[in-house]
Chain A
Amino acid sequence: MKIAFWFLVFPGFLFTAIVGMLLTWVDRKVTARIHWRIGPPWYQPFADFFKLLAKETMIPAGTPKFIFLLAPMLGVIAMTIIAVMLFAMNFMPDKSFVGDLIVLIYLLALPPLGLILGGSASKNPLSAVGASREMTLYFAYELPFLAAILIAVIKTGGQIRIGEMVAFQQLYGPILYSFSGVIAMLISLFAMQAKLGYVPFDIAEAEQEIMAGPLLEYSGVALAMFKLTKAMMFFILPCFLITIFWGGLASRWAIPKLLLLVVLVILLKNTNPRLRIDQALKFFWIGLVPFAIVGIILAFYNL
C-alpha cells in the first residue's frame, strides 16, 4: 500500500508529472518573455495534456502496433521509478543499495530508447531519420555524462550508492565546490540539455527539418505520454544532478538550486541555434571528453 502510494502519488507519477508540467510552463513563459511576448497561462501544459488524451490515437497502417504503443510508455515508467528511487535515497539513505547509481543511469537511458523504438516503428522516413539522430545523439552525450558521474564517484571514494554519496556531501560539502566538480557539473549540464532534447541539441525533433522526428506519427494518448515523459524529465534530471553533485535534495536550498538549473537550461535553449548531428557528436566527443578526462585526473588528486 505504502509502496503503491510512493509510486503512484508522492514522489512517483502524480507528483513528478505535476511539478514537471509546471516547470514546462516556466520554460514556455520564460521563453516568451525572452521573445518579448506574454506567453501562455500557467495551466497551459495541463490543457495540452488533457486535450491530447481526448484526441483520437491514430496508428499508421503496417506498423507493429504493440511496439508503437509500448514506446511512449517506456519513458513514463522509467521516470516514475527514477523519481521514487531518487527521493527515497535522498530522504531515507538506508533504503539505498549498492549500485543504485548504475540502475539510475540505465533507467535514464529508457526515454531515448522509447523515442528510438517509436520512431523506428512509425514507418515514416522522417521518423526513421529522427530515430537514427536520437541514437547518435544518445551515444554522443552518454560518454561525457558517464565520465562526469565517474568524477563524483571518485571524489566520494568509490561510492556507487547514492545514499552514501549524499551523506558524503552533507559531511564534506558538495562535490560541485571543487575544480573537478565544476567540470563535472558543466559537462552534465550539456548532457542534460541533450537528454531533454532542447536546442542546441534538439536535432532529433528538429521541427524545421524533419517536422517532429520520432514523434511525427504519434497522436492522442501516445503523444501525450511522450510530452509527459519530457515534462517529468525536466524535473527529474536537475534533481539527479543536484543529488549527485550539489549536496542532495534534503536541504532547504534544493528548490532554489533546482530553479537555477532549470533557468540555465532555458537560457541555453533560447540563446543558441541548433547544431547538426555531426557537430553535436564532435562537441561531445572531441570537445567535452578530454575536458572530462582532465576532470577525472583532478578528482584523483582530490581537487
Chain B
Amino acid sequence: MKDLRIQGLKKSPWVFHVAAASCNNCDIEILDLITPRFDVERFGIVLVGSPRHADALLVTGVLNRKSLPRVLRVYEQTPKPCLVIGIGSCTCDIHIFKNSYNVVGPYGKHLPVDVFIPGCPPKPEAMILGIVKALSKL
C-alpha cells in the first residue's frame, strides 16, 4: 500500500506555481511546459489553482522582504509531503541583487528546496529534467 502511494506521488505530481516577484520570464517558460510541444500531462503533471491540492511548488524569482512571508505561508498551506522546486537562476543565489537593501537571500536559507534549476530562464527540457530528478529522490 505504501509503495502504491509513493508510486502515486511519483506518477502524478500536481504543481502549484508560486511567482515570488520574478521578472515573469520563468513563469512564461513554465507555461510552455503545458503546451502541446512539451505536454507534461504525459507524466501526470497538472497545474492546479490551490496550494492545498499541490504536491510540488514551483518557486520563481528572487526572495525579498515582501515576498518571503507569503512564500512561507504558501509552503505552510501545502499538504506534506511536498516538493519545492526552484526555477531560474534567481532561486539559486542572489546574483545581481547582491547589494540590494530588499533582498533576503537565497531560497536555500528559508525553505527546504529539493532541486534548483538554473538558467535565465531555464529551458523547458531542463525543467522537466529537474522535476524528474526531484521525483526520483522520493
Taking Cβ atoms with an 8 Å cutoff, the residues of A that contact B are: 28, 32, 35-41, 43-44, 46-58, 207-208, 211-212, 215-220, 223
Contact = CB atoms under 8 A, between A and B. Distances in A.
Contacts of A51: 5, 8-9, 11-12, 55
Interface in B11-39: 11-12, 14, 36, 39
A58 B4 CA distance: 22
Given A36-B36, A212-B53, A219-B79, A44 B6 contact: no
Contacts of B39: 32, 37-39
Contacts of B41: 28, 32, 37, 39-40
Interface stretch (B44-52, B59-67, B97-105, B119-127): B44-52
B50 A48 contact: no
B49 A212 contact: yes
Contacts of B48: 212
Contacts of A43: 11
23 contacts: A32-B39, A32-B41, A37-B41, A38-B39, A38-B42, A40-B43, A44-B44, A47-B7, A48-B8, A51-B5, A51-B12, A51-B55, A54-B5, A55-B81, A56-B80, A58-B77, A208-B49, A216-B50, A217-B50, A218-B52, A219-B53, A223-B52, A223-B53
A252 to B, nearest CB: 34
A126 B26 CA distance: 27
Contact of B44 (A40, A52, A207, A216): A40
Q: Determine which residue in B5, B7, B49 has the highest number of CB atoms from chain A within 10 A of its CB, and name it.
A: B49
A211 B8 contact: no
